[in-house]
Amino acid sequence: MSFTLDTIRQEAKAFVEKYLQETRVVAFYAKMGVGKTTFIKELCGVLGVTDPINSPTFAIVNEYNTQDGKQLYHFDFYRIKDIHEAVDFGAEDYFYSGNTCLIEWPELVEPMLPEDVLKVSLELLDNDERVLKIIKD
């Protein structure tokens, strides 16, 4: 799946329809500046989040409500130093809550993630196109 900033909304909708009907925890892997937060913001919009959507870089997790009364969690683990920080604030409770969890910088918390986590890589090409790939273990 590939997209540009002009087509990101359509690709977010296609992603939700294809992957988020059964999967609840999605881990996004990409370098800084590739567009993880931008894509997640679009996913949140497609999923019916009505709250303002911001990067949780400093808060670690942002909790959002959707139009249908569900909760959605957006994580950014860029600033944590080790897995113990995630354990201390109860990240596992979020991951196993049954609610949608969208995770940026999941590398340090991988041991905590559910077995059915969907791992996604994002890559930025020279023409400002982004390529989204599902990572198969």
Structure confidence at residue 87 (pLDDT): 95
> Which amino acid, one-letter code, is at 80?
I
Q: Between 32 and 5, where is the model more confident?
A: 32
Structure confidence at residue 54 (pLDDT): 85
Average pLDDT over residues 119-127: 93
Confidence label for 38 from pLDDT (cuts 50, 70 and 90): very high
The pLDDT tens digits of the residues spanning 63-105 come to 999 999 999 999 999 999 999 999 999 999 999 999 999 999 9
Q: Between 2 and 77, where is the model more confident?
A: 77
Domain boundaries, the chain: 2-134
Whether the per-residue pLDDT at 137 is higher than 80: the answer is no
Structure confidence at residue 59 (pLDDT): 86
The first and second tokens of residue 19, run together, are 């992957």
Average pLDDT over residues 17-35: 93
| Average per-residue pLDDT for the chain | 93
Structure confidence at residue 13 (pLDDT): 96
2-134 placed in CATH 3.30.830.10: no
Structure confidence at residue 127 (pLDDT): 84
